[in-house]
Structure 1
Amino acid sequence: MASEFKKKAFWRAVIAEFLAMIMFVFISIGAALGISFPIPSPLNETNGRTQDIVKVSLAFGLAIATMAQSVGHISGAHLNPAVTLGCLLSCQISILKAIMYIIAQCLGAVVATAILSGITSSVEGNSFGLNSLSAGVSAGQGLGVEIMVTFQLVLCVVAVTDRRRHDISGSIPLAIGLSVALGHLIAIDYTGCGMNPARSFGSAVIAKNFQHHWIFWVGPMIGGAAAAIIYDFILAPRTSDLTDRLKVWTNGQVEEYELDGDDNARMEMKPK
C-alpha cells in the first residue's frame, strides 16, 4: 500500500474524484433546489412550482454521464461510495484507494452543498437536497428501496466496465447515467433517492440533520456489494485465481501504475 500511496497517478485519481463530485452534486442538487424558486406568472403574481421528478432525475443522470466522460480515464469516475465498494469487492481497486475515494467523494459533496447553500439561501425551508422518508414509508421500506435502486446501478457499472466484454459499442458513461436517472425516477417519491451515500452525507452535514441518515449508507452499500458479488461469482464468474485477484487489495491494479514503467498510465472507463 505504501508504494501505491507514493504514485502521482494515485493522487490524480483521488483529486479527480473530489473535483468531479463537486460538479456532480452542484449540478444535480442545484437542479432539485432550483424548482423551489418562485417564478412570476403572466399576471405578475408569484407562484410556486411542484417538484419535477423527470427534470431532477435527468439532471442526476446527465451529470454522472458528463463527469464519467470527463474523469473516467483518470479515476474510473466512481463518484459514489457504493460503486467504490462494488469495485473493491470485484478486486478492481486497492483498499487504500477505496478509502481515499470515499473520503474524497464525501468532502466533494460537502463542498458542493455548501456552495449551493449560499446560492439558494433565499429558498424558504431549504433542506439542501436532504434525503428523507416520505409520509407512510417506514425505515425498513426505505432501506429496501435504496438497496434495490443501488443494486441496479452497481450491476450496470460492473457489467459495462467488465474488461472481458467486447460487445459494447455504445457510450458507457451514458449507460451509467441512464441507470442513475432510472434509480431516481423510482426512488424519489419514497426516499428522495439516496443511492449515493456521499451525496446524502453532504446534504445532511449542511442541513445539520442526520435523521434516518443510516438508511442512505446501509442501503446503498448492501445493494452495491450484492451486485458486485453476484455479477463476479454467479452471472459472469472469473477464471483467475481468487488469491491472485485479492492481491489487488494491497497492491492495486498493475496496469494502473506500472504499465511499461509509466507512472502516468491511466485506468480507462471502457472495456479492454
Structure 2
Amino acid sequence: MKTSLDDVRTLLFWKAVFAEFLGTFILVVVGIGSTVQGWTADPLDIVQIALSFGLGVATSVWIIGHISGGHINPAVTCAMLITRRVSLIRAILFIVAQSIGSIAGAGILKALTPDFQIGGLGTTTLNTGVTIAQGFGIELVITMVLILTVFAACDSKRTDLGGSFPLTIGFAVTIGHLWAVEYTGSSMNPARSLGPAVIMDIWTDHWIYWVGPITGGLLGGLLYDNLLASNASLRKARDLLMASHFDDGKYPEQKPNIRVIDTEQGEKGDGEVLISNSF
C-alpha cells in the first residue's frame, strides 16, 4: 500500500485536495437544497430529491474528475484505498477535504434558505420503525451498488463502455435514493451526512452513516477488483492484501469464452442446435 509523503510536495496534489472540497460543496448545496421544506405544506417529492442528488454527483464528478478522480465521498476514497489506487496520505486528506466541503456547503445553504424552510436541513436519520440493523444494512447495500458502478464505469480495461461515466455514477445515486430515501435518507456518503449534522447539531444514529457506507464501499471495491474485473484472479487478490508493491497492470486479462445459442439459425438435420461464438 502506498504510504509515500511525496504526494504532498506537489501543487497537483493540493489542487486535487481542493477539488474534493469543491466537488463535495457543490453536491451538498444542490442535493440537500432539494430536501428543505417547500413553499407549501405538500410532502417533499422523492423523485426530485433523487434526481437532485444523482445529477449533483454527476455534475461534480464532471467538473473535478480530471483533477482528483471525483471521489466526493469518503466511501469511494476508502474503496480506492483498500484496492491500492490511492496512497494513505491522499485518502486521509481527501476525506478531510470532503468533510470540510460538506460542512461549508450545509452552512452556506442554511444561510441562503428562509428560516421557515430550513427544517432539518437534510439531516439523515432513520425513519420511524427502521431499526439500527436495518439502517446499517440499507446504507451498506446502496453504497456497495454505488461503488460497483464507480469501479465498473472507470475500468480502463473494459471495451464495452460508452457514454458519460459521471452520469452513470449519478444514476446509481439516483436509484439508491428512489429506494432508500424514506428509510434512512439514503446517504451512501458519510461527508454528505456530516455537514447537516454539524450545522444543525443533530447526531441521532450518525455513526450508521459512516460505518454503513464505508463498509459497503470496502466490500464493493474488493468485490469488483477481485471477482468482476477482467484481470481478476486469486493471485491478484493475494497480492492486493499481502504484497508490499502492487501493480494492477501486471495481471493479464481473463477473456471469457462465451458461446451463445443462435436461435435464428434453426437446427441441424440431426436436431443439434447450432452454436456460434459471439464473444
CA distance in 2, matches of 1:14, 1:29: 22
Q: Report the secondary structure of 1:32's partner residue.
A: coil
* Aligned counterpart in structure 2 of residue 32 of structure 1, from 32, 35, 41: 35
**Amino acid of the structure 2 residue aligned with 1:163:** S
Counterpart of 1:90 in structure 2 is 83
CA contact (8 A) 1:81 1:102 kept: yes
User: How far off its partner does 1:121 sit?
Assistant: 4.1
Between the aligned partners of 2:82 and 2:156, the Cα distance in structure 1 is 16
Residue of structure 2 equivalent to 1:227: 220
CA offset at residue 166 of structure 1? Answer: 2.1
In the alignment, the residues of structure 1 paired with residue 117 and residue 62 of structure 2 have an alpha-carbon distance, to the nearest angstrom, of 35
Give the aligned CA root-mean-square deviation in angstroms.
1.8
The residue that corresponds to 1:21 in the other structure is 24
Aligned residues between the structures:
239
Correspondence 1:246-261 to 2 at 5 A = 246=246
Q: Partner of 1:191: helix, strand, or coil?
A: coil
Cα distance in 1 for residues equivalent to 2:247 and 2:172 = 30
Alpha-carbon distance in 2 for matches of 1:57, 1:138: 23
Q: Conserved in 2, the CA contact under 8 Å of 1:87 and 1:158?
A: no
Q: How far off its partner does 1:123 sit? A: 2.2
Larger Rg: 2
**Which residue identity lines up with residue 37 of structure 1 in the other structure?**
G
CA distance in 1, matches of 2:128, 2:206: 16
The residue type equivalent to 1:19 in the other structure is: L
Give, in whole Å, the separation in 1 of the partners of 2:183 and 2:203.
Answer: 17
Counterpart of 1:202, as a letter, is G
Deviation at 1:245, TM superposition (A): 4.8
- Aligned-pair distance for 1:246? 4.2
Which deviates more, 203-212 or 112-121?
112-121
Deviation, 1:49, is: 2.0
User: How far did residue 227 of structure 1 move?
Assistant: 0.5
TM-score by length of 2: 0.82
Percent identity among equivalent residues?
41
Q: Residue by residue, what CA displacement relative to the aligned partner does 1:149-191 show, whole Å, maximum 9, x if unpaired?
A: 0010001001111121122111100100000111111110101
How far does the alpha carbon of each residue in 1:225-254 deviate from its partner, in whole angstroms, 9 at most, with x for none?
A: 000111111222167654265489xxxxxx
The DSSP-based 3-state class of the residue aligned with 1:190 is: coil
Q: 2: CA distance between counterparts of 1:245 and 1:163?
A: 21
Matches within 5 A, 1:54-93: 54-93=47-86
1:49 alignment partner AA: D
Bigger relative CO (Cα 8 Å, ≥ 6 apart): 1
- Contact preservation (8 Å) 2:143, 2:217: yes
Offset of residue 118 of structure 1: 1.2
User: In structure 2, do the counterparts of structure 1 residues 76 and 53 end up closer, same or farther at CA, with 3 Å as the change threshold?
Assistant: same
Conserved? CA contact 1:31–1:55, under 8 Å: yes
1:142–1:190 Cα contact (<8 Å) kept: yes
Deviation of 1:88 after TM superposition, in Å, equals 0.9
